[in-house]
Structures are given as structure tokens and as C-alpha cells.
């Protein structure tokens, strides 16, 4: 039995414990007041996620719904549920949270219980007479062992802080992986839709070229056109048909990539051709909001907090440790009356240990964790700078692509006008068929360029949303609920 006086002292010892090491403060980050590439027509009042629709909270997480594409919505839902990279990251989060529980357990005493029965001869019994065998004796014991290292200087508590921060970093990593996979799926989806648009354009062009080829053949039979005109028309038709076939390779590869992102074998995944959507207006916000909306920034900041706590662990190593031990139970040479008062045994002990000389080992450990902390601060600031760069890149891309698209629309219109004039001139015998072929190539190239620009605008919109953190918020990271295992 543990004396009542000691039971009363233990909470006092624990309550008086302190934590050594630096208190944590989030390091300063190089965040400007605004974005260099912000469109001039943007206003501060319109730079938030709020006010879009009544279902804003749902759209905040399901950011892809901004594009208004039901097939993309369905695809992203499949990715969230079945993507194996996300499943791997989710398992790492659960492992990190379990590790925190293991570290936290060191704050409490450990208690073990055991029972033994020993038969011995000549060890504890009286010496036998000459020529006599030593008598055998039995010993029975039931005892409980108690051990507790009092966390006087916060070594364990700092370790718990480091574990919690690391687990939060893992949770932020999960959200960063999730956002990356979601954005990759959206980009591949719009690339595929862009290929669909190019295939549709080329197929319409093939039909026009086939009509032109037949017309040229008829003119050749009538002696109006030359064999060169027929050959050029045939070459133009066959070359465009080859482009349609070649795009089929790209489409198949994109469809296979989407199948893998959705956690599905390519055999079981298919997307029918569909028209390309239009780029949405993406609310941007202020640069300071990236600190709250980017999961990779949150992960880097949590690793700074974990490294700061590890400094406290290292500092606590310079201070003495206090350990309490106790044993209580019963021991008797017979089972009968084992649990009686005369058979009771107990022992209590306390030990105080301090390292006097270690040839600089503790100092070396402190310098290591201090350097690791400085490294995490630099990584945090670099992550913020990278996030700002990504936002600026995509803002510039969207602004310049919109301007380029306006010019490209004019180019398409002029190319089509030139083609009509070339056809009229050829039909009237003013020029050769080569002028028609040149006008056809120019018109097709400009139409394909226009389709490509629309695809680039859509993918840049996805990348901007990703750079802004999707719909994630740092408050989601601090939620107490554990992530649910993904279903498969």
C-alpha cells in the first residue's frame, strides 16, 4: 500500500512543475499589402469568397463547382473517395495522431502487475546436515510495480506539444495533397475537354475539306482545275484526318490519367465527349489570407511550432529528473493465507538524477534542435514566397490570356474572311489553289489556337484556385475531430 502522505504530495509536485524552453510565436512572413498582377477592375469589396451564393460554405470546400460542370463535380467526388495518394496521406495523419497519444502517456505513471511461483533448493533454506539433500521450498508472490517520472521541467509536455504540432502538420499535408490531386484532376479534365473541342473542330474541318476535294475533282474532270489542285486538296484532307487520329492518343492518355486519379482501372472509366466550359471569375482576396487558406503554409508553420517545442525538450535535458518507484503486493511460502496482512510487502523510492559531465552531448543536442528550428522558419517563409509567386503567376496568366483571346478572336475572324476571299478568287480563276490551301491552313491554325487559349484559361483558373488554397481554412486544421477513413 502507498502511504496516504505520499499520495497527497504527488499532485503538489506535479502542479509545481514548470516548462523550460522558449514560448512559441509564429514567425513573421514576407506578406505584401496586395498583388502585383491584380486586374485593375478588381475592387477590395469583391475580393472575398463571401457573397457568391447562399451555398457558399458548401462551395468553399467543393471549389470545382464554380465551373458549373456536373461531370467535373462527379469526377472530383470520386477522386476524394477513392484516390490512393489521398488514402496514403490520411493514414499518415492517423499514425501521427496515434504517436501523440504515445508521447502523452509519459505524463502518467506506469503500473504493472505480476504473479510468480518459485520452487527452490539450497538457496533460501537452511543448510542440510552431512550427506543430506537440501530441502525444497516454495515461494508465491503477487505484486504491482509503479513507476513515474515527474515532468518537473516540461520535457514530456514539450514533447507532447511537438507531437501535436507535427500531427497538425500531417493533417495540413493531407489537405495539401487532397488539393493537389483535386486540381490535377480538374486540369486533366479541362485538357481532355480541350482535346474534345479540337477534335470536333478538326472533324468539321475534315468535312469541309472533303467537300472541297470533291469540288476540285469535278473541276478537274471539267478541265477547269489541274491535277496539282486535286493533289493539294487531297493532301490537305489526309493531313487533317491524321491530326484527328493523333489527338485520339492524347485524349486516351488523359482519360487513363483521370481513371488513376479516381482510383479506378482505365478499363472501368470513360468520359464521353462534351463541350468545353467557360472560365469563372475567381475571387482572390488579400495576400495575408494565404496564411489562413494555404494548407502547405499551415503545415510549414506547424513544423516551426514542433521544432520550437523540441528546443524545450533539449533545454529540459540540462535539468535533473525526478522518478518515483513503488512496489506493493503479497509474498508467502504457501498459497494459503497469501493475501493476509502478514504476507504483505511494499517499497517506495524516489530518485533524483542530474548529468554532471557528458562531454558536450546535451549542448550538441540543443544546437541541433536550434538549427532545425531556424531551418523550419526559413522553410515557412519560403513556402509563403512560393505561394505568392504561384498566385501572381496565375493572375498574370489569366489577365494576359484574356487579352490574347480577344486578339485571337479577331485573328480567327480575319482568317475566315481571307479563306472566303481565296475561295472566291479561285472559283473565278483569278488565283491558284495554293492560295486556298494557304488560307485554309491559316484559318485552321487560328481556330485551334483559340481553342487552346480557352483551355489554358480554364487550367489557369484551376491553378489560381489551387494557389489560393481552394476552399480550405486553417480553422479546419484545428478541428478536434479525427479524419474519417476513406471508403474504397
Measured distance CA(469)–CA(471) in Å, rounded: 6
> Residue 389 corresponds to which cell in the numbers above?
509567386
In angstroms, the Cα distances linking 60 to 55, 79, 263, 313 are 9, 17, 24, 39
Measured distance CA(246)–CA(232) in Å, rounded: 21
Measured distance CA(149)–CA(130) in Å, rounded: 52
Measured distance CA(455)–CA(459) in Å, rounded: 6
Measured distance CA(263)–CA(320) in Å, rounded: 53
Domain-located, residue 204: yes
Which H or E run contains 415?
Answer: helix 361-427
Angle at alpha carbon of residue 64, lines to 386 and 401, rounded to 5°? 60
CB 454 within 8 A of CB 200: no
Closest CA to 327 of 148, 150, 144, 147: 144
Sheet holding 344-353, edge to edge: 110-121, 136-150, 321-332, 344-353
CB 173 within 8 A of CB 299: yes
Measured distance CA(280)–CA(292) in Å, rounded: 23
Q: How many distinct helices (H) and strands (E) make up the chain? A: 11, 4
Domain-located, residue 124: no
In angstroms, the Cα distances linking 213 to 55, 65, 421, 433 are 54, 45, 18, 11
CB 20 within 8 A of CB 316: yes
Which H or E run contains 149?
Answer: strand 136-150
Measured distance CA(50)–CA(170) in Å, rounded: 28
Q: Quick one: DSSP state of residue 480?
A: S
SS3 80: helix
User: Domain tally for the chain?
Assistant: 1
Closest CA to 75 of 193, 228, 168: 193
Measured distance CA(386)–CA(287) in Å, rounded: 12
Domain-located, residue 52: yes
pLDDT, one tens digit per residue, over 92-142 is: 999 999 999 888 888 888 888 988 888 877 655 555 556 566 677 788 788
Q: Which residue has the cell 523510492?
A: 349
Domain-located, residue 395: yes
CATH number at residue 272: 1.20.1600.10
Domain-located, residue 420: yes
Low-confidence ranges of the chain (pLDDT < 70): 1-17, 39-61, 122-134, 478-488
The angle, 0 to 180 degrees and rounded to 10, between the axes of the packed helices 155-221 and 227-261 is 160
Range list of H helices, 222-273: 227-261
SS3 430: coil
Predicted TM-score (pTM) above 0.75: yes
Domain-located, residue 27: yes
Q: In this predicted structure, what is the pLDDT of residue 483? A: 40
The angle, 0 to 180 degrees and rounded to 10, between the axes of the packed helices 155-221 and 295-316 is 160
Domain-located, residue 212: yes
Q: In this predicted structure, what is the pLDDT of residue 141? A: 84
In angstroms, the Cα distances linking 217 to 89, 212, 220 are 63, 9, 5
Find the domain containing 312 and state its range. Answer: 16-109+152-319+364-477
pLDDT, one tens digit per residue, over 2-21 is: 445 444 445 545 544 688 88
Domain-located, residue 2: no
Amino acid at each position: 500500500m502507498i502511504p496516504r502522505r505520499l499520495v497527497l504530495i504527488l499532485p503538489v509536485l506535479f502542479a509545481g512543475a514548470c516548462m523550460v524552453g522558449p514560448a512559441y510565436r509564429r514567425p513573421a512572413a514576407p506578406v505584401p499589402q496586395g498583388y502585383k498582377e491584380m486586374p485593375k477592375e478588381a475592387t477590395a469589396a469583391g475580393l472575398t469568397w463571401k457573397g457568391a451564393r447562399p451555398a457558399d460554405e458548401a462551395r468553399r470546400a467543393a471549389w470545382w463547382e464554380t465551373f458549373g460542370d456536373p461531370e467535373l463535380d462527379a469526377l472530383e467526388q470520386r477522386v476524394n473517395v477513392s484516390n490512393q495518394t489521398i488514402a496514403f496521406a490520411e493514414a499518415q495523419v492517423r499514425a501521427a495522431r496515434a504517436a501523440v497519444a504515445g508521447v502523452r502517456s509519459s505524463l502518467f505513471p506506469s503500473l504493472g502487475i505480476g504473479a510468480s511461483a518459485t520452487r527452490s533448493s539450497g538457496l533460501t533454506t537452511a543448510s542440510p546436515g552431512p550427506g543430506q539433500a537440501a530441502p525444497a521450498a516454495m515461494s508465491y508472490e503477487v505484486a504491482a510495480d509503479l513507476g513515474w517520472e515527474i515532468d518537473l521541467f516540461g520535457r514530456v509536455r514539450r514533447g507532447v506539444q511537438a507531437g501535436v504540432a507535427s500531427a497538425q502538420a500531417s493533417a495540413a499535408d493531407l489537405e495539401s495533397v487532397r488539393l493537389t490531386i483535386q486540381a490535377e484532376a480538374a486540369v486533366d479534365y479541362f485538357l481532355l475537354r480541350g482535346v474534345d473541342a479540337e477534335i470536333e473542330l478538326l472533324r468539321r474541318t475534315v468535312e469541309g475539306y472533303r467537300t472541297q476535294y470533291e469540288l476540285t475533282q469535278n473541276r478537274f474532270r471539267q478541265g477547269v482545275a489541274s491535277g496539282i489542285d486535286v493533289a493539294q486538296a487531297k493532301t490537305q484532307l489526309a493531313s487533317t484526318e491524321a491530326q484527328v487520329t493523333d489527338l485520339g492518343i492524347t485524349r486516351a492518355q488523359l482519360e487513363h490519367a483521370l481513371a488513376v486519379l479516381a482510383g479506378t482501372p482505365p478499363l472501368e472509366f470513360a468520359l464521353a465527349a462534351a463541350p468545353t466550359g467557360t472560365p469563372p471569375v475567381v475571387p482572390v482576396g488579400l495576400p495575408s489570407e494565404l496564411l489562413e487558406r494555404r494548407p502547405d503554409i499551415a503545415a510549414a508553420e506547424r513544423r516551426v511550432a514542433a521544432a520550437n517545442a523540441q528546443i524545450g525538450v533539449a533545454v529540459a535535458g540540462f535539468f535533473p529528473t525526478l522518478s518515483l518507484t513503488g512496489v506493493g503486493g503479497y509474498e508467502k511460502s504457501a498459497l494459503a493465507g497469501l493475501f493476509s496482512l502478514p504476507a504483505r510487502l511494499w517499497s517506495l523510492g524516489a530518485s533524483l538524477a542530474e548529468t554532471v559531465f557528458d562531454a558536450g552531448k546535451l549542448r550538441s543536442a540543443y544546437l541541433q534542435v536550434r538549427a532545425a528550428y531556424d531551418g523550419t522558419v526559413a522553410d515557412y517563409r519560403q513556402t509563403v514566397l512560393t505561394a505568392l509567386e504561384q498566385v501572381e503567376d496565375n493572375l498574370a496568366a489569366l489577365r494576359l490570356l484574356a487579352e490574347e483571346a480577344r486578339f485571337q478572336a479577331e485573328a480567327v475572324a480575319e482568317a475566315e474572311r481571307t479563306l472566303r476571299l481565296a475561295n472566291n478568287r479561285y472559283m473565278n480563276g483569278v488565283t491558284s489553289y495554293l492560295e486556298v490551301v494557304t488560307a485554309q491552313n491559316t484559318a485552321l491554325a487560328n481556330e485551334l489556337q483559340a481553342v487552346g487559349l480557352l483551355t489554358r484559361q480554364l487550367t489557369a483558373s484551376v491553378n489560381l484556385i489551387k494557389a489560393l488554397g481552394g476552399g480550405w481554412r486553417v480553422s479546419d486544421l484545428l478541428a478536434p475531430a479525427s479524419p474519417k477513413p476513406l471508403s474504397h
